[in-house]
Every structure is written in structure tokens, then in C-alpha cells.
Amino acid sequence: MATFLYRLGRFSFRKRHFVALFWVALLALAGAGAAGAPAAGNSSFSIPGTEAQKAFDLLDERFPGASADGATARVVFKAPDGQKMTDPGNKAAVQDTVDELSGGTEVAQVTDPYQGGGVSQDGTIAYASVTYKAPGMELEESSREALKAAAEDARDSGLTVEIGGDALQAIPETGSAEIIGIGIAAVVLVITLGSLLAAGLPLLTAIVGVGIGVATITALASTLDLGSTTSILASMIGLAVGIDYALFVVSRYRAELAEGREREEAAGRAVGTAGSAVVFAGLTVVIALVGLSVVNIPMLTKMGIAAAGTVAVAVLIALTLIPAVLGYAGRRVRPAGEKSKLLGGGRAKDKADKPNMGTRWASFVVRRPLAVLLLGIVGLGAAAVPAGSLELGLPDDGSQPTSTTQRRAYDLLSDGFGPGFNGPLVVVVDAQGSDDPQAVFQQAGDEIKALDNVVNVAPAAPNKAGDTATIAVIPDAKPSSVATEDLVHDIRAVGADIKDGTGAEVLVTGATAMNIDVSQKLNDALVPYLVLVVGLAFLLLIVVFRSILVPLKAALGFLLSVLAALGAVVAVYQWGWLSGLMGVEETGPIMSMMPIFMVGVVFGLAMDYEVFLVTRIREAHVHGEKPSQAVVTGFRYSARVVTAAAVIMIAVFSGFIGSSDSMVKMIGFGLAIAVLFDAFVVRMAIVPAVLALLGAKAWWLPKWLDRALPNVDVEGESLAAHGGAAGKDDEDKELVRA
């Protein structure tokens, strides 16, 4: 592989006009597709194999035209102090609002609060339910504006009016903090590379890669039902790895220049060595992201595949576009140790013999490996303690900021009708095979009424055929509570008994039940996912490092960092620690998909640093250095760059904490803190400590396995035969044949 990548690097450097034109054309093509595509909303949320989804599908079949998947809105009214919603003036204002809403072209039904029991017991709060023919993501903007205008007209009459539901669901915004993250990355690159031009190359190529990835996602969003969150997460991960991968290649290029190589040769060797690490690091990220498909939640699968595609583009750009732009930069990109004149350079490195910080740190760890190892493990263990209190759920309007109308509507409904009113359960009774469907409907309603934590059970509403009915159940507790989850399980237990006695099927659905089923499905999939992803990556790392213990250490270190990161997420978003600093207005359960998503992404990113750091250590060991000295040598060449890469990734991920979407905000924080723990505690402290303790045993591999494994030559040993002697035409032919 190193030989192929070496030729690819030289080819891209020499044929830079062709390579640059190819990527610019690809970016333009993706941009044109995105410009002509409809805007993405949030993807449809289906959970195959769950009871809630089965009930939802049954409703579509048995209640045609009911717009079961249509957007909903609750327009909540509150009377002024000292007044009631039943007062003639207030009642007239509500009636005008209902009439105004009923005239919408996409409106399927509007429920009058005075006819549908939508007035609170104390008479101060009322609500009107609006059902639309189209899903929330497909609503025309005119329908949303009409909904807002109707609420504003009601406010003019003196009422407090707020709107809940998914009809006003906004496309998340990342905020200006993302730009700050990129700015921090630029500063770190300038400090690391000692040149404004060299620092600009990774940023430029990363932006090109993210542009291609996000534009492609936008172009295919409508066709493949990709949500707006998909492109945000793809840009988050793509930008971080794109900068890092480019940084490693540029840094190696400067190191090769410092050894006196010609620029084309240096580009080839940089891609042949650092590029090999980029390929395998990228593969681990792609495996982790594509592996999310084993959960069998379409939305999560699409997010993973889209982000994996963006990572793949970042890898290809690091291998081809980076050497091409290095060719354009020429002598303006200086050898390692030299700075540009603008940054106080112009003088050659005069302290070549002085150990750098990476060397000093590695020497310290090698002298005291056991103390460093124990301190790192204890520290991460302490950070992981809050993870033991992890509570999972999915965000609803109750997790929105208090500044939003959705959150204020949620609070008004809780005040007027109880906290469970925001999470009604829909019980679907399929009595098609029963002799007396009406008796089954009555039995189901009566048995559900007798359960604990039930405030109200509405009469059964049968379909036209009379063989299926829906029963609305209002819990006593809020949607995300353990009590409501227990109630869902109790209703399903009642349904199982009814099925045994009558043959009728009782299913529970609704947003609350769907959230509970999603959480359960994600919990059930976590262990198989870990086994699959960690197992595949473990095999890949055995091939890369030709060792058993090094990949095992990498996997165990990852588990430490991800548990510590989950603990930090629980402490901030569930317990409320530093919530003001992080912009968390409402604490509560952690998003259900957070653990499995963090496992996937963090594992891939953790293996990035493992590959970049340990390949340098192995390279020194392969060239004859003793194990402890190889650790020091590896850190001398790679610690500075790995540290810079980690700081950049933390800065980029932290930028997404400013997002308006609670899921993106939480993922941004979780990934940033996970990279902090993994890069600076696991990879920079625990890894060298373990390697120092293991000594030569770290690189042990059974002879039969050594013979069976392919030699991918990540260290670039085969490049000794490519000292630039091959002619350019010969190399081009060899590249085409490869």
C-alpha cells in the first residue's frame, strides 16, 4: 500500500492541474445538485420491528384519510388574570381562531376546545388541536405562517397564545460558535505548521471535502428522506477529520523536506507514510459509522452512512488534493523547524538538539509508567461515575428552551391538564378476528382505567368497519418519566391477556410510546454493535500494527474514554452541572441514541489518534530502536501534530454546542469531551505507559498469524527502494496499472 500511495502522491503533485480541476468540478457538480434540490426537513421517523410502529402502520391501514402521519399543532390559550376561557369575549376569540385555521388548504381537521373537552377544569386554559394532511417536514411555509398569524390575531384580543406540536418544527441552526471553532482550528494550525500558507491548506481542503459531502447530502435529501440533522452531523465529523487528515500529510511533507528531499519526492513519501495511516484511520471511522445500520433505525442508518461518505471524501482529498496544492505552494511551504518571515522566521532551526515537549513528556512517562497508568485510569474512572445514573429518552417540547413557543405551550398544558397531557398514549385495538369487537373495546378501556398512573381514558373510537378502535390514554406523569414508561408496559401486559382471551390485539403507540420503544431498541443493539464494530476494527488494527496486544490496548482505552465522556454528558445534561456555561436550559434524560452514536463516532476518532501515534512508534521499533526509545522517538515526531489535531477536533465539535437543536448540541459536547479524554489521557498518557511496561512483548504476534496477514507496510519500509529513481512516465504507468 505504501508504494501505491507513494506513486499516487507524486502523481498528484506533478499532475496538480488535473487533480485540482477534478475536485473543483466535483464540488461544482454537487453544489449545482444542492441548489436545485428541495430543502431538507427532518427525516420521517420509523422504527421497524417495534410495537409502536406496528400500531402506527395499522392506523394507516384501518383509518384511511385520517392523516396519521400528518403534522399536528396545539394552539393553547390562556385567559387574562381574573377571567375564564368560557367568558363570552374569550370564547368568541377562540372561535374566530378555529374558523381561521379551518380554512387552511393543508388542514385536515381542527378540534373546537368547547366541543372536544379542551378546556381545563379551572377554566383558565384551553387548546385547539390542528391536524394537517402533510407531515411536518412537508408543510408549505404558507401553512406555518397562517398558523402563526391565527395565534397573533388571538393575542390581539388579550389572550396568551402559544403553539406546540411538530407543525412549527424548525430546521436546526448551528450558530456562530461553529465559526469560532474553525477560527481556533486556524490558529492552532498556524502555531503547529509555522506558516499561514501551510496552515491554510488543511482548512481549504477540509472545507472543499465538507462542501462536497454536505452538498451531495442536500441534493439527495428529498430522494433518500435525509433530515437536516444528517447534513449537520456530516459537516461536524467531516470538518474535524478533514482538517486532521490534511494536517498529518502536510506535517509529514515538511518533515521529509527537512531531511533534504526534493518536493515531489517529499510529497510522495508523505502520502506513502502518513497517507497509509490516514487510510486505516479513515477506515475505522467508516466502519464505526456504517456499523450504525445494525441498530435498524433508518434515521440513524442514514446519518451514519452520510457521515461515513463525508469521511471517505476527506481521506481521498488528503491523498490527492493535498499533494496537488502543495505543488502549487512550492517553496512557500517550508521544511519542519522553519517559520515564515511573517511569523518571525527566516532563520533555520537553531535548536535541533534540544528535546521538544513531546520527547520530554514521553521520557517522563517511560521513567514512571505505572504511576502515569494508574493516574490516568483513576481519573477517567472518576469521570465515568455519573454514567451509572444514565437515563435515556428522546427530546420533546419539554426539552426546548423556555424562549420558544413550543416550550411555553407545553408548560401551559401541564399547568391546565397535568404533566401527562403532553404525552398521550394511543391504544389501538384490532378486533378483526373477534366475535364481538364492541365488547373487546369496552373491556380494553375498563382494564386500562384500572391501572395505576392513569388520569383519563377516552371512549373507544372505532373505524367505519367497526373492527378496529383507538383509545386515548392520558398518563399522570410527564412523557419522559419512568412512571409513564411503566404504564406503557402495563397496558401491553393487559393487551397480552386480552389477546389470550379474545384473539384481539391491543397495541400502544403515540410519540411517547415510540420514544420508549426507540430507547429499548437502542439499548438492545448496543452490545451487538460494540462487538461488531470493535471486532472489525480490532482485526484491522492487527493488520496495521502486526500485534495482538496493541489493538487490545487501543480497544480498552477507547472504552475508558467513552465511559468517561458519557459520565460528563450525564453530569451536564442530566444533573445540570455547568449547565449555564453549556447553554442547557432544561435538564432531563439523555437522548436515546447518544450512547450508541458516541460509541460509533468516538471509536473511529480514537483509532485515528492510535494509528497516527503508534505507527510512528512502530516505525522507530521496526528500524531497530529499543521499545522504550521507540516510544520517545514516536512522540518526538508525532506528539505535537496529534495534540494539534485533537485541539482542532475539540474546537470544531465544541462549535456545535451553540446549535439550536438539542440533539446536535448534546452530540457536539459529547464528542468534544470524548476527544479531550481520549487524546490527552488515553493516547498521550496511558498508551505510552502501557507500551513502556510491555516492552518488546507489545509487538508479539504468533508466527502463523504473521505469515497469514497481508503486509500493508504502513511504516513505508518499501519506500527505501523509491528514492526518486523511477522516471515520471514509468510511475504514471505503474499508477494506472495499480
SS3 355: coil
Angle (deg, nearest 10), helices 594-622 and 687-694: 50
Torsion angle in degrees (nearest 10) through CA of 37, 42, 43, 46: -160
The cell numbers describing 633, all together, are 522517538
SS3 164: strand
Angle at 114 between CA 461 and CA 455, to 5 degrees: 55
Using the predicted structure, report yes or no on whether residue 623 has a pLDDT greater than 90.
no
Cβ neighbours for 136, distance < 8 A, ≥ 6 positions apart: 41, 42, 71, 166, 167, 169
Please report which confidence band the pLDDT of residue 87 belongs to, taking 50, 70 and 90 as the band edges: very high
Q: What confidence score (pLDDT) does residue 735 get?
A: 46
Angle at 653 between CA 519 and CA 9, to 5 degrees: 115
Please report which confidence band the pLDDT of residue 734 belongs to, taking 50, 70 and 90 as the band edges: very low
Q: What confidence score (pLDDT) does residue 44 get?
A: 53
Determine the Cα–Cα distance for residues 288 and 286; give it in Å rounded to an integer. 5
Cβ neighbours for 98, distance < 8 A, ≥ 6 positions apart: 110, 112, 113, 128
What is the tens place of the pLDDT at every residue in 393-411? Answer: 776 777 777 778 888 999 9
Residue 192 vs residue 724, higher pLDDT: 192
Type of residue found at 705: L
What is the tens place of the pLDDT at every residue in 426-455? Answer: 999 998 878 888 999 999 999 999 998 898
Torsion angle in degrees (nearest 10) through CA of 258, 260, 265, 270: -20
Using the predicted structure, report yes or no on whether residue 346 has a pLDDT greater than 70.
no
Which of 121-130, 258-267, 533-542, 562-571 is predicted with the least confidence, judged by mean pLDDT? Answer: 533-542
Using the predicted structure, report yes or no on whether residue 36 has a pLDDT greater than 70.
yes
What is the tens place of the pLDDT at every residue in 524-550? Answer: 888 888 888 778 878 888 888 888 998
Using the predicted structure, report yes or no on whether residue 728 has a pLDDT greater than 80.
no
Residue with cell 457536539: 668
Determine the Cα–Cα distance for residues 97 and 375; give it in Å rounded to an integer. 64
What is the tens place of the pLDDT at every residue in 322-338? Answer: 999 999 988 888 887 66
CA-to-CA dists, residue 707 to 115, 242, 549, 620, 701, angstroms: 80, 35, 18, 22, 10
Q: What confidence score (pLDDT) does residue 689 get?
A: 94
C-beta of residue 662 within 8 angstroms of C-beta of residue 572: no
What proportion of the chain, given as a percentage, has pLDDT over 70? 88
C-beta of residue 206 within 8 angstroms of C-beta of residue 249: no
Kindly report the number of other CB atoms within 10 A of residue 74's CB atom.
23
Beta-strand relationship, 590-591 and 72-78:
unpaired
Dihedral over Cα of 683, 292, 479, 506: its sign = negative
Task: Return the bridge partners of 472, or none.
Answer: 426
Please report which confidence band the pLDDT of residue 247 belongs to, taking 50, 70 and 90 as the band edges: confident
Q: What confidence score (pLDDT) does residue 574 get?
A: 87
Using the predicted structure, report yes or no on whether residue 520 has a pLDDT greater than 90.
no
Torsion angle in degrees (nearest 10) through CA of 282, 284, 287, 288: -110
SS3 695: helix
Q: What confidence score (pLDDT) does residue 342 get?
A: 46
Determine the Cα–Cα distance for residues 486 and 374; give it in Å rounded to an integer. 42
Q: Summarize the confidence of residues 295-321 as an average pLDDT.
A: 88
Of 462, 459, 434, 438, the residue nearest 448 (C-alpha): 459
What is the tens place of the pLDDT at every residue in 212-236? Answer: 988 888 888 777 767 666 777 788 7
The cell numbers describing 75, all together, are 394552539
User: Where are the alpha helices (H) located in 401-481, listed in sequence order?
Assistant: 405-417, 437-449
Using the predicted structure, report yes or no on whether residue 571 has a pLDDT greater than 90.
yes
Q: What confidence score (pLDDT) does residue 66 get?
A: 60
C-beta of residue 313 within 8 angstroms of C-beta of residue 238: yes
Determine the Cα–Cα distance for residues 528 and 521; give it in Å rounded to an integer. 12
Residue with cell 512517562: 365
Average pLDDT for the chain? 83
Q: Where would I find the beta strands (DSSP E) of 89-153?
A: 107-111, 125-132
What is the tens place of the pLDDT at every residue in 123-139? Answer: 999 999 888 887 766 67
Using the predicted structure, report yes or no on whether residue 412 has a pLDDT greater than 90.
yes
Of 645, 614, 616, 607, the residue nearest 716 (C-alpha): 616
Type of residue found at 62: R
C-beta of residue 334 within 8 angstroms of C-beta of residue 340: yes
The cell numbers describing 224, all together, are 433518500
Phi, psi of 160 (to 5 degrees): -85, 125
Q: Summarize the confidence of residues 467-479 as an average pLDDT.
A: 89
Phi, psi of 85 (to 5 degrees): -70, -15
Kindly report the number of other CB atoms within 10 A of residue 48's CB atom.
11
Dihedral over Cα of 220, 222, 224, 228: its sign = positive
DSSP 32-95: HHHHTSPPP-PPP---TT-HHHHHHHHHHHHSTTS-TTS-EEEEEEEPPTT--TTSHHHHHHHH
CA-to-CA dists, residue 689 to 95, 238, 472, angstroms: 73, 31, 60
The cell numbers describing 294, all together, are 445494525
Using the predicted structure, report yes or no on whether residue 353 has a pLDDT greater than 60.
no
Containing 457, the helix (H) or strand (E) segment is strand 454-457
Cβ neighbours for 25, distance < 8 A, ≥ 6 positions apart: none
Q: What confidence score (pLDDT) does residue 65 get?
A: 63
Q: What confidence score (pLDDT) does residue 219 get?
A: 83
Beta-strand relationship, 125-132 and 72-78:
antiparallel
Torsion angle in degrees (nearest 10) through CA of 106, 111, 112, 114: -170
Q: What confidence score (pLDDT) does residue 39 get?
A: 58
Of 724, 737, 738, the residue nearest 14 (C-alpha): 724
Tell me the whole-structure pTM to 2 decimals: 0.77
- Alpha carbon of residue 71 to chain centroid: 25
What is the tens place of the pLDDT at every residue in 648-700? Answer: 888 888 877 877 667 778 888 998 999 899 989 998 999 999 999 998 898 88
Please report which confidence band the pLDDT of residue 736 belongs to, taking 50, 70 and 90 as the band edges: very low
Determine the Cα–Cα distance for residues 500 and 602; give it in Å rounded to an integer. 46
Please report which confidence band the pLDDT of residue 514 belongs to, taking 50, 70 and 90 as the band edges: confident
Q: Summarize the confidence of residues 630-658 as an average pLDDT.
A: 84
CA-to-CA dists, residue 167 to 172, 512, 665, angstroms: 14, 17, 22
Determine the Cα–Cα distance for residues 169 and 737; give it in Å rounded to an integer. 53
Using the predicted structure, report yes or no on whether residue 601 has a pLDDT greater than 50.
yes
What is the tens place of the pLDDT at every residue in 269-290? Answer: 889 888 888 888 888 888 888 8
Q: What confidence score (pLDDT) does residue 491 get?
A: 94
Q: Summarize the confidence of residues 81-88 as an average pLDDT.
A: 92
